Structure 1
């Protein structure tokens, strides 16, 4: 089974333009992420997929592999799908370009889902983490996920799901972390399908996979990695790097 990592890396970012090229301990954020992915030793190959020659140049100078997107893309899955179309691989892991502190243990758990899936019933694997506070549970920026008894995703929403009608029943709420491992065909099918109605409503790409019949296995993690979405996040990352 060939397993590769794809790191989607857009230069533009609405909240923090050029964030992937910001300095983090003497290296750009995207280079830190690329090196961290290599150092996990989980992947046959690691690629950065970008729309920017600035980002591409940094990775190439470090001896890394880059694929330049030919089209404009609204989400990471589309960008990765275009890139893997002509690559020989079985499993593709989406590593977030703005998360340089890669959680190797969680990624290994995602890959293990496919190693154990002898019947090839799982199309995607992704991560979930428990939400602890009422503020986090009600925050629409935190995508919630509910699963069946086998940890297969039932639905994703920015709303509070499940609705806690009977307060005598204990409920654990889970946030979906946007880290995926895909079978290659699932990515291609997603790419060849226009945005679906529920996906368009919620603005959650995982829903498109469900609307076209793909099965998503959720894996629980307790690790909340630092994602760099704002200048404040970058300062947190700098402190983390010095620990």
Structure 2
């Protein structure tokens, strides 16, 4: 098995995230990056910007103050070699994994010193580093699993099955995730807020290891959404609100829009 990891970086305390108890929040951020994407083949290796798509995501993750370690996890030799080309920590993982979180758990087991683990999807090149910090802090004080969502009003986004929607209870815990538009508006209410899910999960170590031992349920299989495995088995998922929604890169159109934003001044 190939492994390339560097020494743990130590940063001065002023740049760390501090939780409400005054403890320093540090996290292991794992970016699962498989090559076998269906709608946009080999998308993590797209490089029209001058950088691999996964490289953009990795660079954003490294800017999070909580990021003690950022590791790309893959089952592809091509992705492994690409990650090495921009000096990323990268691990080859079991190709039999059925979802990204299983890949993340394999990496987490190799680094038992981390109690907070963040699963950041490789196709999120515009992830906000501050959002990663917020998720890490909520994991520290929460029940084990934290994710993110943002309010969206565009009907084209809300009706797109590639965009995952989420409804929450009054305490910001997820009730359900779906590719369908939820909640269904039988009656119009001005205060209705539609939330679109962002592909980031924060886990407390025990919750992550419990999750990957659970059987896949019917809802996960029907919707094709791994987070439903947690809900089906009674695990709660806290949802933090992000200030804006950016689509993950799932199609050629998504990638072209991302490139346009880069040219217009994105980083």
Distance in 2 (alpha carbons) for counterparts of 1:158 and 1:84? 29
1: CA distance between counterparts of 2:231 and 2:79?
Answer: 32
Q: Does 1:29 align with 2:53?
A: yes
1:90 equivalent to 2:81? Answer no
**Structural mapping, 1:110-129, within 5 Å:** 110-115=135-140, 117=141, 121-129=142-150
The more displaced of 32-41 and 199-208 is 32-41
How many residue pairs align between the two structures? 239
Query: What value does the CA root-mean-square deviation take over the aligned residues?
Result: 2.1
**Within-5 A mapping of 1:65-104:** 65-88=89-112, 89-104=114-129
Match of 1:45 among 69, 75, 84: 69
Contact 1:126–1:177 (CA<8 Å) still a contact in 2?
A: yes
Aligned to 2:19: none
How far off is 1:201 after superposition? 2.2
Question: Where do residues 1-243 of structure 1 align in structure 2 (5 Å cutoff)?
Answer: 1-88=25-112, 89-115=114-140, 117=141, 121-167=142-188, 170-242=191-263, 243=265
8 Å CA contact 1:103, 1:225 repeated in 2: no
Structure 2, gaps ≥5 residues long: 1-24
Q: Secondary structure of the residue that 1:92 maps to in structure 2?
A: strand
Deviation at 1:226, TM superposition (A): 4.9
Post-superposition offset of 1:169:
6.8
Q: 2:210 & 2:164 partners in 1: Cα distance?
A: 23
TM-score, with length taken from structure 2:
0.81
Distance 1:134 1:112, change over 3 A: same
- Name the SS of the counterpart of 2:222 in structure 1: helix
Measured against aligned partners, the alpha-carbon deviations of 1:114-137 in whole angstroms (never above 9, x if no partner) come to 34x1xxx42111111112134433
CA distance in 2, matches of 1:159, 1:227: 17
Looking at structure 1, the residues matched to 181 and 256 of structure 2 have their Cα atoms a distance apart, in angstroms, of 31
Q: CA deviation at 1:21?
A: 1.3
Tell me if structure 2 keeps the 8 A contact 1:227–1:233. Answer: yes
Q: Distance in 2 between the 1:98 and 1:152 partners? A: 25
Secondary structure of the residue that 1:205 maps to in structure 2?
coil
SS at match of 1:23: coil
Instruction: Provide the rounded CA distance (Å) in 2 between the counterparts of 1:103 and 1:94.
Output: 14
Q: 5+ unaligned residues in a row in structure 1: which ranges?
A: none
Cα displacement string for residues 86-111 of structure 1 (whole angstroms, at most 9, x for unaligned residues) = 32211111222122222112222212
Under a length normalisation based on structure 1, what TM-score does the superposition of the two structures give?
0.88
CA-CA distance at 1:35 after TM superposition: 2.2
Alpha carbons 1:9, 1:49 under 8 Å: kept: yes
Which fold has the larger relative contact order, with Cα–Cα distance below 8 Å and residues 6 or more apart in sequence? 1
Tell me, yes or no, if the aligned pair for 2:119 and 2:201 is still in contact at 8 Å: yes
